[in-house]
């Protein structure tokens, strides 16, 4: 479980998160919505200690992130908004293998995870391609594969579908759905709820750094008309 307890955070005295309390249970699929600048990315970056609260606590499986960064970073897989920031190797296969290699896994298991993660993002068999020769959408898919290959207990994704074509988006969504059914907690920030609402257990919407809605998708949908997000027509 990931738990935010009364988290407050400011950039240079400008409040960005105000008293945010939120839990993402194991196997729960939580969609995070909200206008530009409402604090979503800042909130997500607390999950692995890239940002630390001014007050309040973020716990991963009961342990404060600030007390055990290594544990938080191995159990929370992060997919960032700008995938270029995330690459550590020159080729697709080497990059996706980097995390599992650091876990000290056997080569066969690493290769299996890399192949499986690339399949989940519709890039099966493209291990040897250079990352800097890929399109923006393909690079985003490699970043997602890198997080999947770690087989983390929790997955945190910041606008993961930006630039993905329909087949890739559907493939990633179906993998996220399967992972959530198998117990992975998922926190996914997006401006477009059309594809994810059916998969979500809860929708959290932020406004000016505070949680304004935390409800079931059906109930949240009614209240979301005030938010700058795309919602499915019902």
In angstroms, what is the minimal distance from the CB of 204 to ligand ATP? Answer: 12
In the bound state with ligand ATP, the residue whose beta carbon lies nearer, of 6 and 11, is: 11
* 4, 28, 31, 38: which one binds ligand ATP (CB under 6 A): 38
Choose among 85, 176, 96: nearest CA to 128.
96
**Which of 11, 63, 103, 170 is in the footprint of ligand ATP by CB under 6 A?**
11
Calpha distance 205→22 (Å, rounded): 11
In whole angstroms, how close is the CB of 82 to ligand ATP at the nearest point? 10
* Cβ-based nearer residue to ligand ATP, 18 or 215: 18
Per CB under 6 A, does 41 bind ligand ATP?
A: yes
16 binds ligand ATP (CB under 6 A): yes
Asked whether position 82 contacts ligand ATP by CB under 6 A, the answer is: no
| Binder among 2, 28, 42, 83 for ligand ATP (CB under 6 A) | 42
Q: Is residue 22 a contact point for ligand ATP (CB under 6 A)?
A: no
Q: Which of 6, 21, 37, 107 binds ligand ATP (CB under 6 A)?
A: 37
190 binds ligand ATP (CB under 6 A): no
The answer to whether 105 and 75 have CB atoms below 8 angstroms apart is no
Nearer to ligand ATP, 11 or 222 (CB): 11
The answer to whether 78 contacts ligand ATP (rule: CB under 6 A) is no
* Pairing of β 2-11 and β 55-60: antiparallel
* CB of 157 vs ligand ATP, minimal distance in Å: 12
Told to check if 122 binds ligand ATP by CB under 6 A, we report no
User: Toward ligand ATP, which CB reaches closer, 38 or 48?
Assistant: 38
Q: Does position 83 bind ligand ATP by CB under 6 A?
A: no
Whole-number Å distance between alpha carbons of 82 and 160? 9
Give residues in contact with ligand ATP (CB under 6 A): 11, 16, 34, 36-42
């Amino acid at each position: 479980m990931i738990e935010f307890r009364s988290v407050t955070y400011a950039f240079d005295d400008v409040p960005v998160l105000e008293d945010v309390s939120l839990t993402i249970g194991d196997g729960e699929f939580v969609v995070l919505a909200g206008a530009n600048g409402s604090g979503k990315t800042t909130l997500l970056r607390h999950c692995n200690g890239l940002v630390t609260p001014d007050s309040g606590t973020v716990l991963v499986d009961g342990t404060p992130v600030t007390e055990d960064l290594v544990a938080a970073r191995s159990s929370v897989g992060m997919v960032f908004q700008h995938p270029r920031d995330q690459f550590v190797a020159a080729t697709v296969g080497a990059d996706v293998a980097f995390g599992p290699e650091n876990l000290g896994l056997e080569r066969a298991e690493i290769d299996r995870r890399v192949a499986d993660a690339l399949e989940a993002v519709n890039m099966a068999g493209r291990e040897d391609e250079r990352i800097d020769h890929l399109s923006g959408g393909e690079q985003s898919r490699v970043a997602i594969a890198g997080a999947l290959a770690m087989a983390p207990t929790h997955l945190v994704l910041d606008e993961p579908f930006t630039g993905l074509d329909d087949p890739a988006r559907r493939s990633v969504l179906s993998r996220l759905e399967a992972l959530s059914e198998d117990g992975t907690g998922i926190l996914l920030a997006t401006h477009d709820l059309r594809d994810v609402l059916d998969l979500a257990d809860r929708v959290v919407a932020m406004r000016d750094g505070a949680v304004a809605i935390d409800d079931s998708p059906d109930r949240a949908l009614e209240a979301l008309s005030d938010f700058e997000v795309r919602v499915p027509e019902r």
